Structure 1
Amino acid sequence: MLLNILTAQFNITTIKFLQQFSNPFLDKLAQAITMTAEEYFIIIFIGIVYLCIDKKLGYLMAVTLLFSSTINYFVKCIFKVKRPIGTPGVRSLRLQTADGYSFPSGHTQGAAVFWCSLMKRLKKMIVYIVGAVMIVLVALSRLYLGVHRPVDVVGGFVFGIICVIVLNRIFQYDGYKKNLIVFLFIILPMIVITVYINDSKLYKELGAIIGFVIGYNIENKYIKFNPKTSVCKNLIKVIISVSGLLIVSILFKTFLPHGHVLDLITYFCGVLWFTAGDGLIIVKLSL
């Protein structure tokens, strides 16, 4: 019954309706919009937030997005709904970001987590408006590009909202209690899912979230760098952080054997450097 709903004909009809307006300009616009919900854009934004604006917000967004991404992958593996790619009458673009299963939409879920986290934290009307518009546009872009059905983007939005609500509830606690809850209800489930599915992407996310949790707590207790400084100092922070990440990545990939464990260790060490290592240098340099 549920599978029939996920693959019902009205989903394809909706895609075809949107694609009847297709033209080169809208093709490029849809691809640009969908890129705002992709990994590199979000990583850069969270990195800037953590280093230069608000460490706590950057930490919350990173943990929420990593957990949400793992849940998205897990749900996709449960339902195993094929994408509409190749369906007669459906034109699909930007296929390099449309691998794996279709339900729920990872881009829409990521956009929902990203913008709703900002809304929850900042509580400003302009953020509510921009966020709501961007979530809708990302969802529409996935339909227009022919890589998801309406039910996929709705599912992505729902799962994204659930993750934001759960994580914000957890982050209301402080100290040891929060860390214990994060381990029991976020990291432990991610470990189980990662080992069960055994995919490189999940090992990277697991390494990253463990690195972020440990690194943030080390920085928050012992280092305590100030994210709110001048533009010039913030630029130096970003350069230090990126340089460190590149060095960690190159060293580990050069001298360690390839595999899932390497992925986990590389991302763990890279994020540990990002959250605490460069923070120590920032403090020592009085940035």
Structure 2
Amino acid sequence: MIANILTANFNIIIIKFLQQFSNPFLDKLAELITMTGEQYFSIGAILIIYLCINKNLGYKLGFASLFSNSINGLVKNIFKVPRPIGTSGIRSLRLETAGGYSFPSGHTQNASVFWTNLMKNIHKHWIYIVGTIMILGVALSRLYLGVHRPVDVFFGFVIGFLSMAVVNRIFDFKDGAGNIYGLLVLVVIVCIITINYGNLDLYKQFGSITGFFVGYLIESKFIRFREKASYIQNVIKVFIASIGCLILELGLKAILPNLKVFEFFRYFIIILWVTIGTTYIIKRFKIYL
């Protein structure tokens, strides 16, 4: 019953309607917009926000994104809905971003988590306008590119929004213990998901959220770096974090066996570098105002 709804013909009718307007310009525009829903965009934006703009918002974005991605992996593995790729009358582009199952849309989830977090925490009219446009843009781009159905992007938005709401509610606790216990529950949930449906991506998410949790505990209690800095200092901070991540990413990948447990360890260490290593350097050498 549910599978029939998720793959119902109205999904294909909507995709074909959008694709009737296809042209080279819209193809490029859709590919450009869909890139803002990819993890590399989110990672880069969260890194900059965390180190340079608003540390607390960076934590909210990081935890919400990692939790959301794990829920995405869980739902995909439960329903195992194939993508519309190859359906008669559907043209599919940017297939390198269309691996795995279709439901729900990870790109739409990423956009939803990111922009609704900004809307929730930065009460500016332009954020609401830009955020709404970007979420709708990513969702429509996935349909236009023929790699998702309307139900995929709708539930991608819903799961992303709920993930944002849960994490922000946890951070609304006034005492530190409330934050810690709430975040620990998220880590445990991701752990259970990973053990039961553990593909490679889920182990990466588990390692990342565990590293983020440990880093949050240590940085909040012992380091407490300050984000406010000059333009040059912000460039230095992002460079230190990025070069360290690159070295750890390539170095650990070269020396560790290609096993899921080591993917957990690799991403755990990379996130610790950002949350503890980089922030310690920032405070130690006073790379702030």
d(CA) in 2 for partners of 1:135, 1:65? 15
- The count of aligned residue pairs is 286
Aligned to 1:115: 115
d(CA) in 2 for partners of 1:246, 1:77? 30
d(CA) in 2 for partners of 1:144, 1:249? 34
Aligned to 2:180: 179
Q: Percent same amino acid among aligned pairs?
A: 55
Q: Which amino acid aligns with 1:3?
A: A
Off by >4 Å, runs of 4+ in structure 1: none
1:128 matches 2:125: no
Deviations 1:195-251 (A, max 9, x none): 111211111111111111111221121112211110001111111111211222233
Q: Is 192-201 or 23-32 further displaced after alignment?
A: 192-201
Q: Which amino acid aligns with 2:176?
A: G
Instruction: Note the C-alpha offset of 1:254.
Output: 2.6
Instruction: Note the C-alpha offset of 1:161.
Output: 1.4
Secondary structure in structure 2 of the residue aligned to 1:160: helix
Q: Which amino acid aligns with 1:284?
A: R
1:164 matches 2:164: yes
Counterparts of 1:62-81 in structure 2 under 5 Å?
A: 62-81=62-81
d(CA) in 2 for partners of 1:9, 1:257? 44
d(CA) in 2 for partners of 1:280, 1:198? 33
Instruction: Note the C-alpha offset of 1:113.
Output: 0.7
Deviations 1:148-200 (A, max 9, x none): 1111111111111111111111111231221112112x111110110111211
Aligned to 1:194: 194
d(CA) in 2 for partners of 1:106, 1:79? 14
Secondary structure in structure 2 of the residue aligned to 1:212: helix
Counterparts of 1:80-99 in structure 2 under 5 Å?
A: 80-99=80-99
TM-score by length of 1: 0.97
d(CA) in 1 for partners of 2:254, 2:148? 38
Counterparts of 1:207-218 in structure 2 under 5 Å?
A: 207-218=207-218
d(CA) in 2 for partners of 1:150, 1:250? 38
d(CA) in 1 for partners of 2:43, 2:207? 15
d(CA) in 1 for partners of 2:268, 2:188? 16
d(CA) in 2 for partners of 1:104, 1:61? 20
TM-score by length of 2: 0.97
**Does the aligned pair in 1 maintain the 2:105–2:155 contact within 8 Å?**
yes
Q: Which amino acid aligns with 1:44?
A: G
Q: Which amino acid aligns with 1:128?
A: Y
Q: Which amino acid aligns with 1:169?
A: R
d(CA) in 1 for partners of 2:97, 2:136? 19
d(CA) in 1 for partners of 2:148, 2:80? 13
d(CA) in 2 for partners of 1:277, 1:98? 34
Aligned to 1:279: 279
Aligned to 2:23: 23
RMSD (Å) for aligned C-alpha atoms: 1.0
Aligned to 1:234: 234
Q: Which amino acid aligns with 1:205?
A: Q
Q: Which amino acid aligns with 2:82?
A: K
Deviations 1:30-85 (A, max 9, x none): 00000001011110000000010011100110000000011011111111111100
d(CA) in 2 for partners of 1:159, 1:279? 31
Instruction: Note the C-alpha offset of 1:256.
Output: 2.3
Secondary structure in structure 2 of the residue aligned to 1:143: helix
d(CA) in 1 for partners of 2:58, 2:262? 25
Aligned to 1:102: 102
d(CA) in 2 for partners of 1:177, 1:126? 32
